[in-house]
Amino acid sequence: MNRFLYCIATTLIIGMNSGAVAEEQNPPMPDALIGILDQYDETNTIKRLGRSILQVAPNGVLNEQSFYAYNQLILAKARATKMAKYLALDLDFDGVLTNAELQGALLRTTNQGRVDVLDITLLQLDADLDNDSKLTFDELRFYVVDTVKLGERRDSSLERARLLMWLDLDGDDQLTITEMARAVREYKNSDKN
């Protein structure tokens, strides 16, 4: 039985059998999810949660595979952003960052914001694999892949989508938009009773 229905059934059983203890204790629904479910009327809740699902899983099915794919997308975007920041420092566009270009970067602001002294120092120390005081595209790429790791960034869309897995009514570790809508309706109807 899924967690959502289990919580409702357990509450009803305990209420009817005053003092009876349920055999299995599932954790209660997280307050954060209850807050989301209670925030809007049924239709708006379903629409908002549906958009949350589609943001992480464009096919409308949340599961471990969609979480993995979304994590990979977040990682790729973070690496691309960092790489673009470094490539923007290549003033002569020769594909190599020299010490002069890196030092000059400390004196100006780029489109991505001011370059941090610590970032430049670490870049010079750790990325220059052949110690020739020049950073090639490959050295930059290896450095970015090595330093930007999965899980370093929190993503609110992913956190919300993981929270929505509590609405998995059939317990198959997948949440479809239809299943989410049914769960929201059951929750909203249980509130009225």
- Residue ranges making up the domain that contains 117: 1-193
Number of domains in the chain: 1
Among 79, 94, 80, 85, CA closest to 134: 94
- SS3 at position 57: coil
pTM: predicted TM-score of the whole model, two decimal places:
0.69
Helix (H) or strand (E) holding 114: strand 113-114
Over 70: is that where the pLDDT of 11 sits?
A: no
Contact 74, 186 (CB under 8 A): no
Burial of 15 per CB tally in 10 Å (0-12, 13-18, 19+): exposed
Q: Residue 66: what are its φ and ψ, rounded to 5°?
A: -70, -35
Q: What is the pLDDT of residues 64-120, one digit of tens each?
A: 999 999 988 989 998 999 899 888 888 899 989 998 888 887 776 554 555 677 788
